């Protein structure tokens, strides 16, 4: 089962001065939203307690208020399956896919759906999900009269639209959020096109680049087919019209990501190799500067192993205009483990909750597991049994764990955090500053997702990270590090 995220929301009206972004969102009252969230919360709680009949009742009550969330239908199907309601569960799965559920892998592994796994109807449903092409929907278009004509109105309107989406995000589900967010991005990009018509020279070029950045989004490496197609069209047009513009190199990088996003639908391996080749070409073409650095950062993320990553890392650091900023980019990327293995720990100062001061040199002479986590993080909590087992098994050897909490004092202050650790058997030292994602060590280490464990050897070098320290891999990595410490190689 995949649980719904329940968010606190505010009612936000669109400012009268703003051009309203056209959005197809459910028109629900505050009372309806509150009832929906409360019913979903009860359904989840009852599901966890194994009280499936009551959980189904509350899940259906939520769906009677609004039935557009594919995740809510999937969760209902899981609960019905556990209650041995096979036909009802299959019907709910069909409702989930009709509303945008497009994950064909997870349901085949979900233990909650075990009684359906050998069902021919379930197998046919999985095949129908695999065939879904919803992300190839056409890019939204707008009438000129509906667009913003200046940057202030654009910012004001898009902010209001995003708040409107946030208000109902617990109701509309992932596909609804994706569709609405794409609508906002398309409106902003089209508005920049409209604004560009009033400009000339460099200002018009900059406006066109703003539209391209909006379509690329915060994670160009995860573009959908729809966004990639539009980004590719715009990038080609931009580079044809402005080949020597200051922004052309950055547009070339985004175009490479768009090509990769479209190619990976047919052959992921060939698409990745094509992207590597294009990135190497851009790094060689531009030599230095933002484009070369951006190409090398992405190339580093795509490295298959340490042998491939090391020369890319060395080249990147040799041309970096701001070494600390580049390290932050690498530390926060998909290859953060390889970065720390190559570059080592950053300089830092911190204080544990017991008052002990820490620096980069505090990890000498023992094997240490540094674990970035939070009490609200489901995957972090799922790893706790493995951490507790390791803490107990290696208590008499030179091994320790250091937790670095990303809890926020607004939801869990220091006393509440320490109480939680005590009640849940988390006995190892912790660093807590109550700043959540803005925690000082999270910023220093560039941590943007958790859990993020790192295993340090007796010299403070990073020897394992992330997946190498999950589940049963944790003890294997600890054993290897302790073996090296307790039985050092003898040479002549």
What pLDDT shows up at residue 175? 86
Which letter does DSSP use for residue 357 in this model?
E
Pair of tokens at residue 486:
């307790």
How far is residue 225's CA from residue 140's CA, in Å, rounded to a whole number?
A: 13
Residue 117 · residue 109 · CB < 8 Å? no
Q: Report pLDDT digits (tens) over 7-29.
A: 333 333 333 345 689 898 999 99
* Angle in degrees, CA 89, 90, 91, rounded to 5: 90
Nearby residues of 240 by Cβ (< 8 Å), 6 or more positions away? none
Q: What is the pLDDT of residue 488?
A: 65
Give the global pTM. 0.76
- The answer to whether 380 touches 373, Cβ cutoff 8 Å, is yes
> With contact defined as beta carbons under 8 Å apart, do 300 and 330 qualify?
yes
**How many Å is the Cα radius of gyration of the chain?**
25
Q: What pLDDT is stored for residue 218 in this prediction? A: 87
- Could you tell me how far CA 249 lies from the centroid of its own chain? 26
Report the pLDDT value the prediction gives residue 3, as an integer from 0 to 100: 46
Order the strands of the 430-431 sheet from edge to edge: 430-431, 399-405, 367-373, 452-456, 462-465
- The closest alpha carbon to 234, from 259, 206, 260, 208, belongs to 208
DSSP conformation class of 435:
B
Predicted local distance difference test score (pLDDT) of residue 152? 92
Q: What's the pLDDT score for residue 91?
A: 96
> Using CB atoms within 10 A of its CB, is residue 440 exposed (0-12), middle (13-18) or buried (19+)?
middle
pLDDT value for 1: 59
Nearest partner of 351 among 423, 399, 426, 405, judged by Cα: 405
Which residues in the chain come in under a pLDDT of 70? 1-19, 133-136, 488-492
Alpha carbon 440 to its chain centroid, in Å, reads 20
Q: What is the pLDDT of residue 421?
A: 94
Looking at residue 12, what is its pLDDT?
39
């Amino acid at each position: 089962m995949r649980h719904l995220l329940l968010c606190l929301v505010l009612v936000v009206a669109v400012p009268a001065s703003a051009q309203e972004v056209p959005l197809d969102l459910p028109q629900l009252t505050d009372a309806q939203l509150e009832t929906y969230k409360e019913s979903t919360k009860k359904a989840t709680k009852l599901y966890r307690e194994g009280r499936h009949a009551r959980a189904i009742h509350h899940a259906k009550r939520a769906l009677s208020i609004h039935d557009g969330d594919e995740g809510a239908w999937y969760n209902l199907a899981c609960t019905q399956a556990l209650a041995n309601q096979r036909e009802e569960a299959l019907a709910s799965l069909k409702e989930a896919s009709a509303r945008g559920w497009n994950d064909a892998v997870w349901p085949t592994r979900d233990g909650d759906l075990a009684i359906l796994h050998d069902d021919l109807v379930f197998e046919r449903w999985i095949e129908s999900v695999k065939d879904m092409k919803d992300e190839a929907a056409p890019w939204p278009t707008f009438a000129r009269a509906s667009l913003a004509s200046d940057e202030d109105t654009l910012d004001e309107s898009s902010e209001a639209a995003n708040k409107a989406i946030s208000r109902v995000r617990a109701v509309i589900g992932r596909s609804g959020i994706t569709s609405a967010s794409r609508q906002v991005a398309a409106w902003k990009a089209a508005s920049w096109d409209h604004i560009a018509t009033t400009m000339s020279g460099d200002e018009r070029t900059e406006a066109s680049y703003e539209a391209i950045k909006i379509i690329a989004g915060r994670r160009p490496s995860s573009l959908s087919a729809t966004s990639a197609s539009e980004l590719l069209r715009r990038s080609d047009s931009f580079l044809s019209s402005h080949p020597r513009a200051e922004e052309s190199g950055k547009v070339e990088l985004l175009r490479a990501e768009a090509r990769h996003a479209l190619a990976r639908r047919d052959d992921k391996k060939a698409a990745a190799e094509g992207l590597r080749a294009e990135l190497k070409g851009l790094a060689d073409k531009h030599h230095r500067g933002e484009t070369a650095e951006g190409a090398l950062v992405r190339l580093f993320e795509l490295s298959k192993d340490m042998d491939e990553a090391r020369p890319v890392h060395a080249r990147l650091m040799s041309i970096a205009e701001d070494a600390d900023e580049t390290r932050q980019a690498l530390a926060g990327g998909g290859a953060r483990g390889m970065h720390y293995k190559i570059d080592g720990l950053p300089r830092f100062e911190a204080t544990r909750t017991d008052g002990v001061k820490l620096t980069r040199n505090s990890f000498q002479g023992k094997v240490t597991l540094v674990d970035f986590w939070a009490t609200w993080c489901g995957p972090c909590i799922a790893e706790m049994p493995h951490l507790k087992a390791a803490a107990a098994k290696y208590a008499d050897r030179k091994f320790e764990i250091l937790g670095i909490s990303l809890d926020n004092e607004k939801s869990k202050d220091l006393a509440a955090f320490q109480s939680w650790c005590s009640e849940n058997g988390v006995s190892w030292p912790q660093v807590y500053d109550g700043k959540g994602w803005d925690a000082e060590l999270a910023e220093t280490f560039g941590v943007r997702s958790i859990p993020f464990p790192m295993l340090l050897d007796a010299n403070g070098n990073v020897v394992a990270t992330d997946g190498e320290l999950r589940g049963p891999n944790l003890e294997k990595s600890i054993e290897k590090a302790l073996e090296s410490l307790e039985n050092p190689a003898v040479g002549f």
